[in-house]
């Protein structure tokens, strides 16, 4: 089944403890992206990747890192999480930029 898989689905962590949210797609898509969704602010792009080893900042990149060492994986790294990063996170992929997006199931992160 063609899909974007995110893990974990739910995570509660403490301020400052490094964490990684994984994202993997099995559709051989070139383009991948991370979004966060917050009440009243909608969905905002954090980082995107046009292809392996090509990443760039979105609208809200502060406090996040990404890497794209393989085409299928695009992990989101929070080196020192803070409570303002409590949010619902989505990974998405598409064949190329400009094509239809497939979203993962989301990761609900709480930083206390």
Of 17, 26, 43, 70, the one binding other proteins by CB under 8 A: 43
Of 42, 62, 69, 112, the one binding other proteins by CB under 8 A: 42
**Span from 19-27, 61-69, 72-80, 93-101 in contact with other proteins (CB under 8 A):** 93-101
- Toward other proteins, which CB reaches closer, 14 or 97? 97
Q: Does 6 bind other proteins (CB under 8 A)?
A: no
Q: How many CA atoms lie within 13 A of 39 on its CB side?
A: 2
Q: For residue 15, what are its two tokens?
A: 């301020």
CA separation for the pair 87, 48 (Å, rounded): 18
**107 DSSP assignment:** E
Beta strands 42-51 and 54-57, pairing class: antiparallel
**Span from 11-19, 22-30, 66-74, 89-97 in contact with other proteins (CB under 8 A):** 89-97
**Span from 20-28, 56-64, 69-77, 78-86 in contact with other proteins (CB under 8 A):** 56-64
Distances (CA, A) of 68 to 3, 30, 39, 48, 86: 18, 10, 29, 10, 24
Using CB under 8 A, list all residues that contact other proteins.
Answer: 33, 42-43, 45, 48, 50, 56, 58-59, 88, 90, 92, 97-103, 105-106, 108
């Amino acid at each position: 089944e063609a899909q974007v898989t995110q893990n974990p689905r739910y995570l509660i962590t403490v301020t400052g403890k490094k964490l990684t949210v994984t994202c993997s797609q099995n559709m051989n898509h070139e383009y991948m992206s991370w979004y966060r969704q917050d009440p009243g602010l909608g969905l905002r792009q954090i980082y995107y990747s046009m292809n392996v080893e090509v990443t760039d900042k979105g609208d809200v990149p502060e406090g996040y890192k990404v890497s794209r060492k393989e085409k299928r994986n695009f992990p989101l790294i929070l080196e020192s999480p803070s409570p303002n990063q409590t949010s619902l996170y989505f990974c998405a992929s598409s064949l190329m930029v400009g094509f239809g997006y497939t979203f993962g199931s989301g990761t609900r992160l709480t930083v206390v």
